[in-house]
Amino acid sequence: MVTQHEILRLGHQGDGVAAGPVYAPATLPGETVSGTLSGTQLTEVRIETPSADRVQPPCRHAKSCGGCQLQHASDAFVSAWKQEIVATALEAQGLAAPIRGIVTSPARTRRRAVVSARRTKKGAMAGFHARGSDVIIQIPDCQLVDPKLLTGLPVAEALAVVGASRKGELSVTLTVTENGLDVAATVGKPTDGPLEIALAQVAERFDLARLAWDGEVIAMRQPPVQRFGAANVEPPPGAFLQATPEGEAALLDSVQEIVGDAARIVDLFAGCGTFSLPLAASAEVLAVEGDAEMIKALDQGWRQAQGLKKITGAVRDLFRRPLVPDELRKFDAAVLDPPRAGAEAQVAALADSRLDLIAYVSCNPVTFARDARVLVSSGYHLAWVQVVDQFRWSSHIELVAAFSRNEA
């Protein structure tokens, strides 16, 4: 039976939400829509009264592909929606702060994506999953990712032909580097001699920088370099990387504004040195990270770079063993960029440390706001929040927040 609904708001996954709740994909607040209810999901959705914020999706794959959720919404709508989510998360913790205009990465700039690949009767196919389904949609004209990354689709298909099990699916992480594509595939067949030779041939045929198979490097043909400030870094296969160069630059600009001319900085959850290496142009840095391979990559990048101040790398689980106030007091500023869970234990220690300046980079407004409340309750001033949208057309949100002990 077809029913009609008023969309009241967007949910956190980007679906329109009507009273019930009823979830309707690719709809916007204020729209009247009709469709068939399946549980709480509206299917075969028809837009009866479109919103003024509705636009023609820029990508021809948008209707079938599940990679993007918000191509039907204007940039202005998405920006306002993301800023409002941050403001609401802060409000829920009794906090408020000036929220600066969002910085959105342009289309076709995503430098890292995970595609799926599967064998077919005729060979193989690679792409993103359809929304809420395990069907793979081919995306030759994807408007989200860097065109260089799209050259990885035939690579993923070739890898599936030689190394995917008959019914299984390969997950292939494609990363654009200074020297070509860095490819890391997981859940393939276990390697043996013939498979390793076949995989190395794929790396050769497509001129890949590096190919890793279930964490093991099969071919290293060119250094898979990322440039962080003055340093060239070779991250381990599949390691965390900011999603777009423009997003990374926006996050770094805000971090640099917050730490100012601090001479000693601690970079917590430092990864491969996205922030540590540029900051080392003018400050000594302690880079702390849980993954030993990432710290090794950061350290090698630092050793080969010219003109940087000292960076000391430390491998440490900051959830279980956060830096304690006595360790933190040696620094003028802290940069903090935890995973989605936030940094509850480390923030409690920062709150006690009374360290002057904190740049908190977050990919989850809810855990950020929870941690912000602890800092503010212990006397920190939350000066501003910069929202950064490097996951264009998705519901993801990134931000940088400026905390200081002195309100000046």
Query: Which sequence positions are flagged as catalytic?
Result: 363
CB of 187 to ligand SAM, least distance (A): 21
Contact 210, 182 (CB under 8 A): yes
Positions 225 through 284 that interact with ligand SAM (CB under 6 A)? 240, 242, 269-271, 274-275
How far from chain centre, in Å, is Cα 82?
15
Per CB under 6 A, 339 contacts ligand SAM:
yes
User: Do 162 and 192 form a contact (C-beta atoms < 8 A)?
Assistant: no
Name the residue nearer to ligand SAM (CB basis): 144 or 361: 361
Choice between 75 and 327, CB closer to ligand SAM: 327
CB-count burial class (<10 Å; 0-12, 13-18, 19+) for 52: exposed
Residues 155, 210 contacting (CB under 8 angstroms): no
Asked if 384 interacts with ligand SAM (CB under 6 A), we say no
> In the bound complex, what is the minimum distance in angstroms from residue 256's beta carbon to ligand SAM?
13
Note whether 234 and 225 are within 8 A (CB). Answer: yes
Q: Which amino acid belongs to residue 39? A: G
Does position 291 bind ligand SAM by CB under 6 A?
A: yes
Number of residues that bind ligand SAM (CB under 6 A): 18
Distance, CA of 244 to CA of 356 (rounded, Å): 30
**Shortest gap between Cβ of 83 and ligand SAM (angstroms)?**
21
Q: Which stretch binds ligand SAM (CB under 6 A): 63-71, 86-94, 166-174, 313-321?
A: 313-321
3-state helix/strand/coil string of 15-72: CEEECCCEEECCCCCCCEEEEEEECCEEEEEEEEECCCCECCCCCCCCCCECCCCCCC
Rounded to the nearest 10°, the torsion over CA 24, 28, 30, 35 is -30
**Which residue from 281, 319, 332, 370 is in contact with ligand SAM, where contact means CB under 6 A?**
319
The CB-of-105 to ligand SAM minimum distance in angstroms stands at 15
Q: Of 30 and 339, which CB lies nearer to ligand SAM in the complex structure?
A: 339
Q: How far is the CB of 71 from ligand SAM (least distance, A)?
A: 25
Distance CA 10, CA 82 (A): 11
Interface residue with ligand SAM among 221, 290, 299, 395 (CB under 6 A) is 290
The residues that touch ligand SAM, with contacts defined as CB under 6 A, are 240, 242, 269-271, 274-275, 289-291, 294, 317-319, 337-339, 363
